[in-house]
Amino acid sequence: MQPDLLPGHRAATVLHDLRHASPLVHCMTNDVVQTFTANVLLAIGAAPAMVIEPEEAAQFAAVAGALLINIGTLTAERSDAMLVAIHAANESSTPWVLDPVAVGGLTFRTRFALDVLTLKPAAIRGNASEILALAGEQSGGRGVDSTDDAFSALPAAQRLAQYTGAIVAITGERDYVTDGKNTWHVAGGGELMTRVVGTGCALSAVVAACCALPGSRLDNVAAACQFMKRAGEQAITVSHGPGSFTPAFLDALYALNAEALA
Ligand SMILES: Nc1ncnc2c1ncn2[C@@H]1O[C@H](COP(=O)(O)OP(=O)(O)OP(=O)(O)O)[C@@H](O)[C@H]1O
Ligand SMILES: Cc1ncsc1CCO
Ligand SMILES: [Mg+2]
């Protein structure tokens, strides 16, 4: 049975809070998606900063509204900087979010992702193959893409949420967001969202922004998923392929309102 859909009015409240607070999001993310991620955060109304030098990362994680850790192009040096930033974030009660890009098949990043699971992430956002792998289940995955279905990964996500204390979001054709007990389902978007790089990575940054807000963290993370789904489907109606999708998507995030979320 499908979990309930997040009501549009809840997502609208979170969008209002997000634009009012405009949280500063400290992004430690991969090389492929830096500019797109910053633009997505700006378009929706948050404030990005990509700070990666270890000394500065610790300093900044303490003052940011939230920290994003995305392991898409992890290196030994970056993993050290990320660990320092996560510890600084935890000392300052800054929520931090994990995007476990391509975890499972590759040893170094998998070890890193499993290690940081014990450091109290506020949320984890990944595709189905990534969430299955992180929960220690058999998973597919082809590079950074999923070969598994999001709904079939929900039990693994629930266990992962219970083990880590994080809100876990699995994305795909439908998204599922769980705290281990209660689950929201988010529908919408379209296949074109997978034909440009970084929609998932940028969503994880929006999840981080929403973790900086007050209120139910489960609702806040599901709202972040809904923002991307709605903006994605609106952009698809006016675009002709991946090239025109990207600017239309940024415009749709900027124009997103309660009516569109209803
Ligand atoms: N088949 C689909 N139909 C509708 N929406 C989709 C589909 N696949 C993904 N999405 C949406 O695209 C966004 C990215 O999700 P996806 O699961 O592809 O992340 P990802 O694999 O981590 O992406 P990336 O690594 O490129 O950043 C989410 O908002 C998700 O809901
Ligand atoms: C394509 C790609 N390779 C490493 S990270 C990344 C961005 C999508 O996750
Ligand atoms: Mg990804």
The letter for the amino acid at 189 is G
- The answer to whether position 35 is within a domain reads yes
| pLDDT for position 105 | 87
- Quote the ligand 1 centre to 58 CA distance (angstroms): 30
Q: Tens digits of per-residue pLDDT, 61-114?
A: 999 999 999 999 999 999 999 999 999 999 999 999 999 999 998 999 999 999
- Ligand 1 pocket test: which of 27, 36, 142, 203 has the largest number of ligand atoms within 8 Å of its C-beta? 203
Q: Which two tokens stand for residue 158?
A: 């629930």
The 10 Å CB-count burial string (b at 16+, else e) for 48-86 is: beebbebeebbebbbebbbbbbbbbebeeebbebbbbbb
Q: What is the count of structural domains for the chain?
A: 1
Counting atoms of ligand 2 from 1, which one is nearest the CA of 201? 9
Q: Tens digits of per-residue pLDDT, 225-244?
A: 999 999 999 999 999 999 99
Q: Tens digits of per-residue pLDDT, 5-59?
A: 999 999 999 999 999 999 999 999 999 999 999 999 999 999 999 999 999 999 9
Contact 212, 23 (CB under 8 A): yes
- Quote the ligand 2 centre to 240 CA distance (angstroms): 23
Rounded alpha-carbon distances, angstroms, from residue 157 to 123, 148, 174: 11, 13, 14
Q: Tens digits of per-residue pLDDT, 138-170?
A: 888 898 998 889 999 999 999 999 999 999 999
CA neighbours closer than 13 Å in the CB half-sphere of residue 143:
2
- The answer to whether position 28 is within a domain reads yes
- The answer to whether position 262 is within a domain reads no
**pLDDT of 117 strictly over 90:** yes
- Quote the ligand 1 centre to 55 CA distance (angstroms): 33
Backbone angles phi, psi at 59, to 5 degrees: -60, -45
Of the bound ligands, which one is closest to the alpha carbon of residue 34?
2
For 225, the domain range is 8-257
- The answer to whether position 185 is within a domain reads yes
- The answer to whether position 103 is within a domain reads yes
User: How many residues are listed for the chain in this entry?
Assistant: 262
pTM equals 0.98
| pLDDT for position 148 | 82
- The answer to whether position 244 is within a domain reads yes
Task: Report, as an integer, the average pLDDT of 127-139.
Answer: 95
- The answer to whether position 2 is within a domain reads no
- The answer to whether position 224 is within a domain reads yes
| pLDDT for position 208 | 99
Q: Is the CB of residue 197 below 6 angstroms from any atom belonging to ligand 2?
A: yes
Residue 105, domain CATH? 3.40.1190.20
Task: Report, as an integer, the average pLDDT of 184-213.
Answer: 98
Counting atoms of ligand 2 from 1, which one is nearest the CA of 31? 5
